[in-house]
Amino acid sequence: MTAVSENIPVVDLKSINDTHREAINSAIQRVIDSGWFILGKEVTRFEENFARFSGNQYCSSVANGTDALEIALRALDIKPGDEVLSVSHTAVATISAIERVGAIPVFVDIEPKTRGMDPVKLEKSISSKTKCIIPVHIYGQPCEIEEICNIAKKHGIPVIEDCAQSHGAMFKDKIVGTFGEIAAYSFYPTKNLGALGDGGAITTNSKELFDKASLLKQYGWRERYISEIVGLNTRLDEIQAAILSEKLPFLKEENSTRLKIAQKFINSIKSDKIKTPYLFKDRTHVMHLFVVEAEDREDFRSYMHSKGVQTALHYPAPVHTQPAYLNRIKAPQGMQETEKLYKHLVSLPMFPTLTSDQIEKVSNVLKGYN
């Protein structure tokens, strides 16, 4: 059995990657032996594989998830001064990407069950300046993406799905990332599909948007050294692409393992002071993070830590209260639900290589909290 003194981490990247160690080492050696390190066969292979996995026709890989959002915005011709509706309950990268293209972020509050964009408040927040909507599938939970896209379509506004935390999540019978015009993904090492460094991608069913994104990510080149449009330098390198291709075939199974672990943890929580993630019958949560809401967060965290179970905050503060953004981004319908959530959220251990002993220990610790 697991020793009582063991600290169980929120995520263990070493154990995750040890599972794929032989394939990863082989992939790295394959790239070294090829002598080709930027935009070669490995990138092409991964883009084709991930397009199929994502349910889209096209995938264009980039250097990281923030760049994926920026490229998506630029592909949609979002310009300085345009307003982009998104949420404050997200990694700051979502808002950073909006401001990097010179656009103006506008916050829409969340609804409690998905912890994602509230469609009712979304529609009330749309103005003549709104040129794009970026909903976030936070923690691996699909937001109300169908309703959001219906509202967007009614107003003629494109949607970029932020899928950085939701690789493989399903809404009804469709994979998230196939509802909007473009989806943006991150392959940061902690993601469900994680590289051994940074990485990202956009996926789409639009050949026009794919072609433009592919130009934008490398100086606007179609012909080498000839820039057709003003572009960036944001490329997934061959080594990371090779590693991701080796890990991708296991993603569906690992997502399923995450959900099974989460269900065991949910069943172990007996206290009415802890609110667990909501599991919908019509969608699949891929549990990038297992986040509960504790009535007394500090008491709960202190208890878990005393029992050798680590916790984290995702995130310590919503974007609109952070120093860089405080009092300068409007939220027409207020931020009541977002601010309420941030008083209570706590992330618990969640990764597919949690051992049976570790799962049992976390479950027993959760059962003991009253």
In the chain, at which residue ranges do the beta strands (DSSP E only) sit?
Answer: 58-62, 83-86, 104-107, 130-133, 160-162, 170-171, 174-175, 182-186, 200-204, 221-223, 226-227, 274-275, 283-284, 290-294, 345-348
Fill in the DSSP letter of residue 276.
P
Question: Residues of the chain with pLDDT > 70: what percent?
Answer: 99
Burial of 170 (0-12, 13-18, 19+ CB in 10 A): middle
Could you read off the pLDDT of 159-201 as tens digits, one per residue? 999 999 999 999 999 999 999 999 999 999 999 999 999 999 9
Secondary structure (3-state) at 286 = coil
Among candidates 159, 144, 171, which has minimal Cα distance to 281?
A: 171
What HEC string does the chain produce?
Answer: CCCCCCCECCCCHHHHHHCCHHHHHHHHHHHHHHCCCECCHHHHHHHHHHHHHHCCCEEEEECCHHHHHHHHHHHCCCCCCCEEEECCCCCCHHHHHHHHCCCEEEECCECCCCCCECHHHHHHHCCCCEEEECCECHHHCCCCHHHHHHHHHHHCCCEEEECCCCCCCEECCEECCCCCCEEEEECCCCCCCCCCCCCEEEEECCHHHHHHHHHHCECCEEECCEECCCCCECCCEHHHHHHHHHHHHHHHHHHHHHHHHHHHHHHHCCCCCEECCCCCCCEECCCCCEEEEECCHHHHHHHHHHCCECCECCCCCCHHHCCCCCCCCCCCCCCHHHHHHCCCEEEECCCCCCCHHHHHHHHHHHHCCC
Backbone angles phi, psi at 338, to 5 degrees: -60, -50
2 pLDDT exceeds 80? no
Q: What is the pLDDT of residues 335-367, one digit of tens each?
A: 999 999 999 999 999 999 999 999 999 999 999
Specify the amino acid at residue 318. Answer: P
Question: What is the overall mean pLDDT for the chain?
Answer: 97
Task: Report the b/e string of 67-89 with b at 16+ CB within 10 A.
Answer: bbbbbbbbbbebeeebbbbbbbb
Which pLDDT belongs to residue 45?
Answer: 98
pLDDT at 3 over 70: no
In three-state secondary structure terms, 22 is: helix
∠ CA 169-177-328, nearest 5°, is 105
Predicted local distance difference test score (pLDDT) of residue 6: 79
What are 68-126's pLDDT values in tens digits? Answer: 999 999 999 999 999 999 999 999 999 999 999 999 999 999 999 999 999 999 999 99
Lowest mean pLDDT among 4-18, 150-164, 166-180, 311-325: 4-18
pLDDT tens-place string over residues 240-266 = 999 999 999 999 999 999 999 999 999
What is the rounded CA–CA span in Å between residue 354 and residue 264? 12
Residue 235 has what pLDDT? 97
Instruction: Say which DSSP state 110 is in.
Output: B
Task: Give the strands of the sheet with 200-204, arranged side by side.
Answer: 58-62, 200-204, 182-186, 160-162
Give pLDDT, residue 4: 44
Identify the burial level of 332 via C-beta atoms within 10 angstroms of its C-beta, where 0-12 means exposed, 13-18 middle and 19 or more buried.
middle
> How many Å apart are CA 9 and CA 30, to the nearest integer?
33
Task: Give the confidence band of 5 by pLDDT, cuts at 50, 70, 90.
Answer: low
Q: Which of 164, 94, 89 is nearest to 121 (CA)?
A: 89
- The share of the chain scoring above pLDDT 90, in percent, equals 98
DSSP conformational letter for 348: E
